[in-house]
């Protein structure tokens, strides 16, 4: 069970860094916009996990 949980956490972390990379390099978004998007992504992921 711990391995499954750790894999899920690593997936969320990797996708967050992927979103940061794409947002900065390809979409040229401001850092404040990216911070907001990543915060919302992690908040929704927490709601799915907890609910």
What's the whole-model pTM score? Answer: 0.66
With beta carbons less than 8 A apart as the criterion, state whether 20 and 38 touch.
yes
Check residues 35 and 4 and name the one with the higher pLDDT.
35
Kindly write down the DSSP assignment for every residue of 1-51, as one continuous string.
-HHHHHHHHHHHHHHHHHHHHHHHHTS---HHHHHHHHHHHHHHHHHHHH-
Q: Is 70 exceeded by the pLDDT of residue 2?
A: no
pLDDT of the residue at 1? 55
Q: Parse the chain into domains and list their residue ranges.
A: 24-51
pLDDT in tens, 6-37: 566 677 778 888 999 999 999 999 999 999 99
């Amino acid at each position: 069970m711990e391995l499954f949980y750790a894999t899920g956490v690593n997936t969320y972390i990797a996708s967050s860094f992927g979103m940061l990379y794409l947002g900065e390099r390809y979409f040229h978004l401001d850092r404040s916009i990216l911070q907001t998007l990543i915060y919302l992504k992690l908040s929704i992921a927490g709601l799915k996990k907890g609910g």
